[in-house]
Chain A
Amino acid sequence: MKSPWLLLALAPLAAAQTVAQLDEVARVASVMVDGDVAKRIVTDRAIESIMKVDKRDPYIASDNYDVHHEPFLHTKKTLIRLSRLVDFPCDVNLWMPLPTTPPRVHIVIRNANEMSRFWQWGALHQEMFPPMKEVFEKGKRVAVADKPGWIAILAPVRDSLGDIVGLVEVVARQAPDPRENVK
């Protein structure tokens, strides 16, 4: 985990340009993604069920996962527009924290290239990743380049009170796999 600018200094020129473009998308995303709308996406019922574990019904949490159509769609469209600020395949995903101890996160909106540096395919929620924790705590963008060929910039999403209620993951791959997650 490095700051975007340190990463810039370390990376080859092409990769550095990519990082810079992704960081710019992330900066804009922090302004454009509406945290109040994002908070209204997942239904209360889904949040109440999301941590449920039932040996007789292993799908109880995912079967109860639900979202409100309008705030989801509003936010998804914003994320798609943000991804189009660059001219290479890029996804802008929305992540939000869950009110759990220890803290957990869940991806709330994914996009068409089906890329994420963090999402484990099919996971409803996951442990809080250290770079995400840093974004939530410090409110700064964080670049993640710990996996060869991948670059992700995390940026905070704030609501009207100024609280950080989520984050965007702006992610790209050096060599996108056209079949990744086609399953």
Chain B
Amino acid sequence: MRVLLISLAVCLSGAQRLPSASLELLPEFLRPDPFGGIVAPDRGSARAQAPLIAARGGYVSFHLVVKLPDGGPYSLDLKLTGRNLQVDVFREWFHLTRKRYFPDALIPVNLPYRSQLPEPDNQVDKQTAQAFWVDVWAPPGAAPGVVEGTATLEAAGRTQSLPLRIEILAAAVPGDDPFVIDHNSYGSSWIAEYYRNPGESDAAFFQSDRFFKLIHAHHRLFYEHRGVFHQLGYGHGGKVGPEFAPELTGSGKNKRIAGWDLYDRHYGPLLDGSAFEGSRRGRKPVPFVYLPVNPEWPASYLWWGEPGYETEFVNVVSEMERHFREKGWTQTRFELFFNHKKRYKAFEWDGDEVRFLKDNRYFLEFGRLLKKAVPSDSPVRFVFRSDSSWAMEAQFRELAGVVNFWVCGGGEFSWFDYAPKMLKDRGDIVWFYSGPPNVAEPSVAITKFPLRVWMWGIDGYIHWLTVSPGADPWFRFDGGGTALVYPGVRFGIPGPIPSVRLKLQRNAVQDLALLDSFRAGKGIDALRTEAAKRYNGSAPKDWWTPRPKLADTPAHEWSNTDIAEATDLDQRLFKKLDPSAWQNVRDYVIALAKEAR
């Protein structure tokens, strides 16, 4: 295995130094502000500089900061020579939130980039610095060695150069990650809000190729960032968006699928992988997708408990299985998943986060129906997913053999250190869920999710909402706690654009993929022990919460306050993360990669 080590030396020649303008390189976890400093939550790192490392088949990233104390026009360029490295440069948008500026949205730019400070569209008063996120992609076939490069700033009629020296070592990031990072969303109305042309009707937009390409563009963006994208296609009352399900006709024994047009336009390219053709990670079917099945679809809830419900459910789901099989869509897990909650007043049981154990009986019945609908030897992979929190331990027990995909609240799950082995030994898939950190949190906060999945030895995690940056993310930003991508239309880009946090997460995942590849030689326990130690001085056992007495009382008697008081994981592990915490883990990964060579 070979590793690409990229170290970027920052130096300006004396002859070229300009007191009024400068070009600076910052490690990825030190986010620049628009005035030449570092955003407050990222300050105080023990390491102001860090080696920048990526294996082949991976990225190395950094911030390049143009500083013009007097403002004015400038031009930025960056060139690397040889080794087939590919460079993506993004202008960092400074969002005003909580009276402070944070860079997050990343606008792709072409080099040389010419603009001025203050940047006209960002409207930051007295802006003196513009940050650029630089991704350097080392293709799997990149040759080891040294790459030279130069970043160049032209301002006030003079030129400054920043020499770059890239050292290549040995090893490659595995193509497959040891876990899944999922990015969730609900429905597709939000796509119209961002991308529908003025005056364009719903009917025209939602049936257009552009609409489906926008959906695929979101999948592609997350995929390129080593993630997965989910869109739930039905509401809490059971209404299904037309593009999320085949069209149905009839009732009772005559209910059947009338057409697949919108479904196939939506899902076909995702399920055969063609939506990802030409991407750096290559064509590959999505690993998971929600089914539109809910208590009101495909069977009418009017017939619940009667023969008609079973007939409608089994006939339609059987047709779906047949269609998927005939299409060869056998690499994706199709999720039977119930998102409804009784607080939304449409059904008498909670599908999501069951709290009252009486509701489990509905899961048992749907498990029976699914089993009846799908042939036991079907190559199509149906899974029964439950998002569980309050009653997860009882559900693990009561729904064993029925639910085989668990998405668990991270706090409560931390009480049950036996659960990963128990669930995985019986073949279940295990994720936990949370939400993206706000931009006002330290940038390193996004790394705690992939690391936790890997420390726990489970299969993935899900950010519950990742496409909702608020009504005006550009000038009245809510902090991005529900968004990791942004609409690009403001910049003439007909699709989503990434964020700093998404990039940081991707880089952490690729580091963990590489680290995990050493488990055969080093042993997973040793790897986890050292990674935890370097991250925050913890030990693997610290990543679990001692089982609280609360866990032995009925879940319906708990409050969120009780749970918070019984779960100190975030406080213990992540409250005082050093901004360089992830860089410390990365150093370990690189050291192992060098050893492996």
Q: Report B-chain residues with C-beta under 8 Å of the C-beta of A69.
A: 348-349, 358
Report B-chain residues with C-beta under 8 Å of the C-beta of A77: 301-302, 304
Nearest to A68 among chain B residues (CB) is B348
Contacts of A60 in B (CB 8 A): 559-560
A111 partner, pick from B202, B237, B242, beta carbons under 8 A: B237
Q: Does A143 contact B (CB under 8 A)?
A: no
Asked whether A182 is an interface residue with its Cβ less than 8 Å from the other chain, the reply is yes
A sample of 14 inter-chain contacts (CB < 8 A) reads: A57-B560, A57-B561, A60-B559, A60-B560, A62-B343, A65-B342, A77-B302, A80-B301, A112-B239, A114-B239, A114-B346, A178-B242, A181-B236, A182-B235
The segment from B38-46, B184-192, B414-422 found at the interface with A is B184-192
A60 to B558, CA, bound (A): 10
Please encode chain A, from 150 to 183, with 1 for each CB lying within 8 Å of some chain B CB and 0 for all others: 0000000000000000000000000001111111
> Taking the nearest CB of chain B, how far is it from the CB of A17, in angstroms?
24
Q: Which of A53-88 contact B (CB under 8 A)?
A: 54, 56-60, 62-63, 65-69, 72-73, 76-77, 80-81
Q: Are B343 and A183 in contact, CB atoms less than 8 angstroms apart?
A: no
Residue of chain B at shortest CB distance from A50: B343
Bound together, the chains give a CA A155 to CA B572 distance in angstroms of 56
B103 contacts partner chain A, Cβ-Cβ < 8 Å: no
Compute how far the CA of A80 lies from the CA of B347 in the bound complex, rounded to whole angstroms: 12
Residue ranges of A at the interface with B (Cβ–Cβ < 8 Å):
54, 56-60, 62-63, 65-69, 72-73, 76-77, 80-81, 106-114, 119, 122, 124, 177-183
Tell me the bound Cα distance from A36 to B541 in angstroms: 55
Decide: A67 and B302 in contact? CB cutoff 8 A: no
Count of A-B contacts judged by CB separation below 8 Å: 103
B122 within 8 A of A: no
Cβ contacts under 8 Å, B348 to chain A = 67-69, 72-73, 76
* Structural contact, A80 and B241, CB atoms closer than 8 A: no
Residues of A within 8 A of B189 (CB): 179-180, 182-183
- Rounded to whole Å, the gap between the CB of B178 and the closest CB of chain A is 32
Interface string of B215-236 (1 = CB under 8 A from A): 0000000000000000001111
Which B-chain residue is minimally distant from A121 (CB atoms)? B344
B342 touches A66 (CB 8 A): yes
Contacts of A68 in B (CB 8 A): 348
A113 to B296, CA, bound (A): 10
The listed residue (A65, A177, A181) touching B237 by CB distance below 8 A is A181
Would you give the shortest CB distance from A106 to chain B, in whole angstroms?
A: 8
Query: Are the C-beta atoms of B561 and A56 separated by less than 8 Å?
Result: yes
3 A-B pairs closest in CB distance: A72-B348, A182-B187, A183-B186
B355 interfacial contact with A, CB 8 Å = yes
Kindly list 7 other residue pairs between chains A and B, CB separation below 8 angstroms, not including A57-B561, A114-B236, A180-B239.
A56-B560, A66-B342, A69-B348, A76-B348, A77-B302, A80-B300, A178-B241
Asked whether, in the complex, the Cβ of A81 is within 8 Å of the Cβ of B302, the reply is yes
* Cβ A73 vs Cβ B302 within 8 A: no
Contact assessment for A182 and B346 in the assembled complex, using a CB-CB cutoff below 8 Å: no
Instruction: Tell which of A63, A76, A106 touches B355, judged by Cβ atoms closer than 8 Å.
Output: A63
Map CB proximity to A onto B553-569 as digits: 1 under 8 Å, 0 otherwise.
00000011100100000
Asked if A114 contacts B358 (CB within 8 A), the reply is: no
B contact residues around A56 at 8 Å (CB): 560-561, 564
User: Nearest chain A CB to B411's CB is how many angstroms away?
Assistant: 13
B342 touches A59 (CB 8 A): no
Q: Is B305 an interface residue (CB 8 A)?
A: yes
Of B305, B341, B355, B561, the contact of A73 (CB 8 Å cutoff): B305
Whole-angstrom distance between the Cβ of B570 and the nearest chain A Cβ: 16
- Residues on A with beta carbons closer than 8 Å to the beta carbon of B206: 179
Min CB distance B350 to A, Å, is: 9
Which B288-308 residues sit within 8 Å CB-CB of chain A? Answer: 296, 300-302, 304-305
A58 to B560, alpha carbons, bound, how many Å?
9
**Which residue on chain A has the smallest CB distance to residue B192?**
A179
Q: CA–CA, A183 to B232, complex, Å?
A: 7
**B240 interface residue, CB < 8 Å from A?**
yes
Q: Specify which of A58, A69, A109, A112 lies most central, judged by the most chain B CB atoms within 10 Å of its CB.
A: A112
Chain A residue with Cβ nearest B468: A183
Q: Which of B202, B235, B300, B356 contacts A66 (CB 8 A)?
A: B356
Q: Which residues of A contact B241 (CB under 8 A)?
A: 178-179, 182
Residue B345 interfacial (CB < 8 Å)? yes
Kindly state whether residue B435 has any CB partner on chain A within 8 Å. no
Closest to A77 in B: B302
Q: Is the CB of B187 within 8 A of A183?
A: yes
A179 and B241 alpha carbons, distance in the complex (Å): 5
Q: How far is the CA of A33 from the CA of B588 in the complex (A)?
A: 68
Nearest chain-B residue to A59 (Cβ)? B560
Are the CB atoms of B304 and A73 closer together than 8 Å?
yes
Set of chain A residues within 8 Å of B358, measured between Cβ atoms = 69
Q: Which residues of B contact A106 (CB under 8 A)?
A: 345
Whether A182 pairs with B233 at a CB distance below 8 angstroms is yes
A48 CB to nearest chain B CB (Å): 13
Chain B proximity of A18: nearest CB distance (Å)? 20
Chain A nearest CB, measured from B510 CB (Å): 32
Q: Would B188 and A67 count as touching, CB distance under 8 A?
A: no
The answer to whether the Cβ of B579 comes within 8 Å of any Cβ in the partner chain is: no
Is B285 close to A, CB under 8 A?
no
Considering only CB atoms, which chain B residue lies closest to A175 in the complex? B202
Cα-based distance from A114 to B237 in the complex (angstroms): 6
Most-contacted residue by chain B among A59, A81, A181 (CB, 10 A): A181
If A76-B301, A112-B237 touch, does A65 touch B296 (CB 8 Å cutoff)?
no
State the CA gap A32–B202 with chains docked (Å).
37
Nearest CB on A from B35, distance (A): 36
Chain A CB within 8 A of B118 CB? no
Residues of the A chain whose Cβ atoms lie less than 8 Å from the Cβ of B347: 76
Of all chain B residues, the one with the shortest Cβ separation from A62 is B343
B238 at interface, CB cutoff 8 A: yes
Q: A113-B239, A114-B239, A178-B242 are in contact. Are A108 and B187 (CB under 8 A)?
A: no
Smallest CB separation, A138 vs chain B (Å): 26
CA distance A67 to B343 in the complex (A): 9
Separation in Å of the A169 CB from the closest CB of chain B? 12
The residue on A at minimum CB distance from B185 is A183
> Across the two chains, which residue of chain A brings its CB closest to B564?
A56
- Contact across chains for A108 and B235 when beta carbons are under 8 A apart: no
CA distance A93 to B240 in the complex (A): 18
Collect the chain B residues with CB atoms within 8 Å of residue A72's CB: 348
Minimum CB distance partner of B348 in chain A: A72
Q: Which residue of B lies closest to A111 (CB)?
A: B237
- Assuming the contacts A63-B355, A65-B343, asked whether A179 and B238 have C-beta atoms less than 8 A apart, the reply is no
Q: Are A109 and B304 in contact (CB under 8 A)?
A: no
B187 interface neighbour in A57, A62, A109, A179, Cβ under 8 Å: A179
**A116→B417 CA distance, assembly (Å):** 45
- Mark B232-271 against chain A: 1 for CB-CB distance below 8 A, else 0: 0111111111101000000000000000000000000000
The CB with the most chain B CB atoms within 10 A, among A56, A59, A69, is that of A69
Q: Which of A54, A80, A180, A183 contacts B561 (CB 8 A)?
A: A54
